[in-house]
A and B are shown apart, each in its own frame.
Chain A
Amino acid sequence: MTVKSDVQISPKHRSLWQRMRRYRLAYLLILPTFIAMMSVHFIPTVLAIYMSFLDLNQYTLGKFLHAPFVGLKNYRMIFGANNVLTAGLQYAARNTILYAIAVNIGTIGVGLILALLLNREFRWRGLARTLMLLPWVVPTYVVGMLWGMMWLRDRGIINIILVDWLHLLPQKPFWLIGRNTLLAIIIPTIWRQLPFNTIMLLSGLQQVPQDLMDAAAIDGASAFQRFRYVMIPYLKPIIAIILLWGMIFTFFGYNIVIMMFGNGGGFPGEWGDLLMPAIERQSFRYWLFGLGAAVSVLMMLAMMFFVWLWYMVFRTSLLQESAKEE
């Protein structure tokens, strides 16, 4: 009897307390996760925000949260016109934006092509799909080290292939010095992220009903039209997810750059520095923890803005997706 009434009254119309009682077990079950998430995510975030208002440096670190409160001083330092301690962050910001755009266009674009290829019937398809996954199992810091060796001008395999074997370039360029460094970090990142995107897109493609494609073909839709108007709508939610994930991954990119340039010791140069390595160097290695917290908070806000933007763009397709599942 009670069960029946429960079904009839939708959860929305009950008080919070009723719902709590109704789902007591469920809440109990998620409690450990909730506590863990609070302690590893929420509390550090709040602490970081508080730290960004403190003058926390190597001399006051012992006091930690009792360090002198300086209000917005750290933020003023970041936006101050001639602040020497934040010099170089603008290069890092420019590189990060270029890096994020290039890597995401690259991974989603090439990933889509590869997914379309792997979606076809061919003899070694299973093997090809497995091989495709390989770069993904390489940890990012190993990617940085490996490519750091491959990019070497005179003894790296890349110049040997490009110049000695294929004669694509007249002479061997430097990849780890100068403007090319940006390419030298973008390409390995695409290589590393491609498998994930390909697999995700492939799974999306397999949701496209074959009869829908057949029907479109019978109606006279060209191959491109079938791709554009039948496949893409199915892929949109997946593109949304991998774009979000890719933006976060690139925005907070660290390992590949750090390992490629001196295994954490050197300076990646004005065209190779990203925001995360720059922040780590110029706040944490300079022992300016308050400043570091302030920059981190700003990065978090920037990322939240992007997520909001992302949600506005993809809201309709995401809602359609959840509607479809219901």
Chain B
Amino acid sequence: MVRKVWVVLSLLLIATLVLGACAQPTPKVVKETVVVTKEVEKVVTKEVQKVITKEVEKVVTKEVKVVATPTPVPEEPITLKVWIMPNGPDPLGAMQEEAKEFQKLHPNVTVEVEVLDWGAAWPKITTAATSGEGPDISQLGTTWTASIAAMGALRPFTKDEIAAMGGPDNFVEASWKTCNPVGSGFTVAVPWFVDTRAVLYRKDLYKKAGVDPNTAFDTWETFDAALAKLKEAKEKGLINAYPIGFPGKNDWNVLHNFAPWVWEAGGDLLNPGNTAAVFNSPEAIKGVKFYASLYTKGYTPPDVLELNSAQVEGLFINGEIATIISGPWMVKGARTPNDKGGWADSEAAKNLGAHEIPAGPAGRYTFVGGSNLTVWNSSKHPEMAVEFVKFLVSKDSQIRYSSNIGMLPAVKAALADPTFSEDPLYSVFVSAVEHGKSYPAIPAWGAIENVMVKALGALWDDVAGVNGPFDPDTMIPARLNQAKQEVDALLAVGGGQ
């Protein structure tokens, strides 16, 4: 009885297939055919195991032939749900471009892109991680990866999958570290793009003030001297811009702005075993003190501490500050015409220079962040999801996507591409990546960063003189000691996990 039904079904199918093949091959028809064939194939293999009549077998081989001629290797349609953050000026467009390229290789795959706001992403991803109903693929900030992985939501990549993507050496080291939570032994993510910081300055203003940009960023001392000279030039009326600008407490980047100075002074944020905070060491305090002194010495606009990153970038674009420490997206902005959301027409864009962050007593370090790609345990098509991740870390996609969003590729081969390595401005960021340091990949980092944002935010208020005249020797250690206690308590919550 069952057999009869299959025979009838198969015959019906052949009829539709033949009809479909005869008809104009509109994509819709082909797609429908594809689905059905697959089903029959499955059924048949099952039946073959149970030994069925030769008749049906014949029918099948015939039928596959028919399909094979008009379309190449048909596969069942797959929808991949992808969550990304607002990367670059056109987050959805840039990602859809990648999806389209991927579809050329895998016509049966539809990529559904959802752009999450950074603020809303945290609760949404946490909820997805606990409920087990997540996307197939999601972008995760480098500092979030270990936290989400600790919740067991991410599907680790196998050694073979990583090897197929070029192996660990294929990726920027600082980013790769964030994909392998400390002590877990798993690779839960693959680096996607890199965000790093370098000094951007106004060549024309430096020239007018008589500052040589070739030596200005050699050391902290030369940097300090250069800013002092720019300040003098402003006072004399030679230039009409403050030497430098950076945001205070009202910003996401509070810790990213402080961290390089701590590292350059020889300090660190956590101890080597990630069991306790060490950012209150004398070296670390020295670094914080130096960064804060740039404000107290009057190198910045007086109101700079109440601004956020975007507003400070605005000051630079408007020519109100001569120096800014920012990311590769500024280069992208400087080359995008004004009517397309960039600032290519401004004086700042025409005289833009870039250099790595000045080296400190313990060397040259810069913050490396960015985002990783993760495949979720809840994915129904993990193989295809990995395939898409593999595509996104391929050299072509890396170059295209990173330059579209104004970040750097996380794949070394793409970084070495002339698009970045031979560009006078991007190349500075590329070498900054080599001096890049990322935060420890531990689950508690997400929480720790929030403690630091609070402590350093309060410190900026101290610097601004909220609690009486700023005394760096007492106020900086006080804030950092308090934060250390909080961070140590948080590290103890997980029992040192």
Partners in one complex: yes
Segment with Cβ contacts to B, from A10-18, A56-64, A193-201, A302-310: A56-64
- Check if A174 is an interface residue, CB within 8 A of chain B: yes
- Check if A265 is an interface residue, CB within 8 A of chain B: yes
Q: Which of B122, B151, B457 contacts A266 (CB 8 A)?
A: B457
Given A267-B458, A287-B446, A176 contacting B451 (CB threshold 8 A) = no
Among A87, A177, A285, find the residue whose CB has the most chain B CB atoms closer than 10 A. Answer: A177
Q: Which of B119, B303, B451, B454 contacts A152 (CB 8 A)?
A: B303
Q: Assess the A176–B450 pair: CB atoms within 8 A.
A: no
Provide the bound-state CA to CA distance between A235 and B254, in Å: 49
- Check if B489 is an interface residue, CB within 8 A of chain A: yes
Q: Assess the B453–A266 pair: CB atoms within 8 A.
A: yes
Given A261-B250, A267-B249, A288-B493, A177 contacting B447 (CB threshold 8 A) = no
Provide the bound-state CA to CA distance between A183 and B118, in Å: 29
Q: Assess the B306–A174 pair: CB atoms within 8 A.
A: yes
Interface of A is mostly: loop
Interface residues of B in 448-464 (CB under 8 A from A): 450-451, 453-454, 457-458, 460-461, 464
Provide the bound-state CA to CA distance between A153 and B305, in Å: 10
Interface residues of A in 281-299 (CB under 8 A from B): 281, 284-288
- Check if A95 is an interface residue, CB within 8 A of chain B: no
Q: Which of A59, A262, A266 contacts B150 (CB 8 A)?
A: A59
How extensive is the interface on chain B, given as a class?
A: 35 or more
Q: Which of A154, A177, A261, A287 contacts B301 (CB 8 A)?
A: A154
- Check if B11 is an interface residue, CB within 8 A of chain A: no
- Check if B184 is an interface residue, CB within 8 A of chain A: no
Provide the bound-state CA to CA distance between A267 and B254, in Å: 9
Provide the residues of chain A in CB contact with B151, threshold 8 Å.
58, 61-62
Given A62-B130, A87-B486, A269-B457, A285 contacting B250 (CB threshold 8 A) = no
- Closest CB in chain B relative to A199 CB, distance in Å: 32
Q: Assess the B249–A58 pair: CB atoms within 8 A.
A: no
- Check if B413 is an interface residue, CB within 8 A of chain A: no
Q: Interface 1/0s, chain A 138-170, versus B by CB < 8 A?
A: 000000000010001111000000000000000
Provide the bound-state CA to CA distance between A178 and B451, in Å: 20
Q: Assess the B466–A286 pair: CB atoms within 8 A.
A: no
Q: Which of A175, A265, A270 contacts B453 (CB 8 A)?
A: A265
Q: Assess the B119–A263 pair: CB atoms within 8 A.
A: yes
Q: Assess the B308–A263 pair: CB atoms within 8 A.
A: yes
- Closest CB in chain A relative to B190 CB, distance in Å: 23
Interface residues of B in 296-326 (CB under 8 A from A): 301-303, 305-308
Q: Assess the B489–A85 pair: CB atoms within 8 A.
A: yes
Q: Interface 1/0s, chain B 130-158, versus A by CB < 8 A?
A: 10000000000000000100111000000
Given A176-B306, A281-B454, A287-B147, A266 contacting B447 (CB threshold 8 A) = no
- Closest CB in chain A relative to B442 CB, distance in Å: 11
Among A84, A267, A284, find the residue whose CB has the most chain B CB atoms closer than 10 A. Answer: A267
Provide the residues of chain B in CB contact with A59, threshold 8 Å.
150, 443, 493-495, 497
Q: Assess the A84–B482 pair: CB atoms within 8 A.
A: yes
Q: Which of A62, A266, A287 contacts B251 (CB 8 A)?
A: A266
Provide the residues of chain B in CB contact with A288, threshold 8 Å.
447, 493
Interface residues of A in 227-263 (CB under 8 A from B): 261-263
- Closest CB in chain A relative to B375 CB, distance in Å: 18
- Closest CB in chain B relative to A130 CB, distance in Å: 33
- Check if A66 is an interface residue, CB within 8 A of chain B: no
Provide the residues of chain A in CB contact with B485, threshold 8 Å.
84, 87
Q: Which residue of the partner chain A has the closest CB to B486?
A: A84
Provide the bound-state CA to CA distance between A148 and B308, in Å: 11
Provide the bound-state CA to CA distance between A266 and B257, in Å: 13
Residues on A facing B (Cβ under 8 Å): 57-59, 61-62, 64, 84-85, 87-88, 148, 152-155, 174-179, 261-267, 269-271, 281, 284-288
Supply 6 A–B pairs (Cβ within 8 Å), ascending by A. A58-B151, A84-B489, A178-B461, A178-B464, A266-B254, A285-B446
Apart from A59-B495, A62-B151, list 16 A-B contacts with CB within 8 A: A58-B443, A64-B130, A84-B485, A84-B488, A153-B303, A176-B306, A177-B248, A177-B306, A177-B461, A177-B466, A261-B250, A265-B453, A266-B453, A267-B454, A267-B458, A288-B493
Residues on B facing A (Cβ under 8 Å): 119, 122-123, 126, 129-130, 147, 150-152, 248-254, 301-303, 305-308, 443-444, 446-447, 450-451, 453-454, 457-458, 460-461, 464-466, 482, 485-486, 488-490, 493-495, 497
Question: What 6 A-B pairs are tightest by C-beta distance, nearest first?
Answer: A267-B457, A265-B252, A262-B250, A178-B466, A266-B250, A84-B485
